[in-house]
């Protein structure tokens, strides 16, 4: 049986909020989705019937391997669509999220496999997030927040944790694009804003922004 749009939105939420042990609380899901807890509770009971989660009263949910794969496949559709819109249709990386939100609910596996082939099987989406393969496997990455870097370090801007249009426009205006090198020049004691050097010029980024920028050495 095909998953419904609502089920896919819940699956995607599970993908984003589970901890490293595959656990999440009803309350965490409720806040992430902005849905009332009784509704989340009812949906998770249905997920338990499908063997996507292990549901026990008063305990965190545990996502099963089957549930993890189902969630990853929804994310795959979303990230492949974003990549297609950027690479083949010349959309800016700040303009693709909402469109992908709609197209990710297309159920044709062949459609997305063809998209993958046309793109030459990309490993990452336009925001640097790994694209799960058609079996739901995903590349592990060793990244850290820019906010955790130290003065003098040079790192590579690898991905973002927020695909919000306003945030991506903020980065684009500052020429902060993926795979560019960033050198940490100064960290303000007062508000933890960071002065960086990028492409030969300096920029000051707020703590709120640096927490959403992921980098690697």
List the domain range (segments joined by +) for residue 30.
5-63
| Low-confidence spans in the chain with pLDDT less than 70 | 1
The reported pLDDT for the residue numbered 139 is 87
Query: Phi/psi zone of residue 115: left (φ > 0), alpha (ψ -120 to 50 degrees), beta?
Result: alpha
pLDDT, averaged across the chain: 93
In a domain, 169, yes or no: yes
Note whether residue 190 is domain-resident.
yes
- Tally of structural domains, the chain: 3
The string of pLDDT tens digits covering residues 115-150 is 999 999 999 999 999 999 999 999 888 899 999 999
> Is 69 a member of any domain?
no
Residue 208 and residue 157 share a domain: yes
Same domain for 87 and 102: yes
- Whether residue 132 sits in one domain with residue 162: no
Report the distance separating Cα 109 and Cα 122, nearest Å.
17
Does residue 71 fall inside a structural domain?
no
- Domain shared by 148 and 134, yes or no: no
126 and 172 belong to one structural domain: no
What does the DSSP 8-state code read for residue 122?
A: -
Q: Cα–Cα distances in Å, from 121 out to 22, 78, 118?
A: 27, 14, 8
């Amino acid at each position: 049986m095909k998953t419904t749009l609502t089920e896919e939105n819940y699956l995607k939420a599970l993908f984003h909020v589970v901890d490293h042990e595959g656990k999440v609380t009803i309350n965490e899901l409720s806040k992430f989705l902005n849905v009332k807890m009784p509704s989340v509770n009812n949906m998770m009971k249905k997920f338990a019937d499908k063997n996507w989660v292990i549901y026990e009263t008063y305990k965190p949910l545990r996502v099963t391997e089957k549930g993890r794969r189902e969630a990853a496949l929804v994310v795959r559709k979303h990230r492949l669509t974003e990549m297609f819109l950027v690479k083949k249709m010349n959309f800016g990386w700040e303009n693709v999220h909402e469109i992908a939100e709609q197209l990710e609910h297309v159920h044709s596996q062949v459609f997305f496999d063809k998209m993958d082939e046309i793109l030459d099987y990309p490993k990452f989406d336009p925001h640097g997030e790994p694209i799960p393969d058609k079996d739901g496997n995903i590349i592990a990455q060793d990244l850290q927040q820019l906010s955790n870097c130290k003065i003098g370090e040079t790192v590579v801007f690898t991905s973002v944790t927020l695909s919000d249009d306003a945030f991506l426009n903020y980065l684009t205006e500052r020429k902060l694009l993926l795979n560019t090198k960033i050198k940490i020049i100064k960290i303000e004691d007062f508000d933890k804003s960071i002065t960086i050097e990028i492409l030969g010029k300096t920029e000051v980024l707020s703590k709120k922004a640096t927490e959403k920028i992921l980098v690697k050495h």
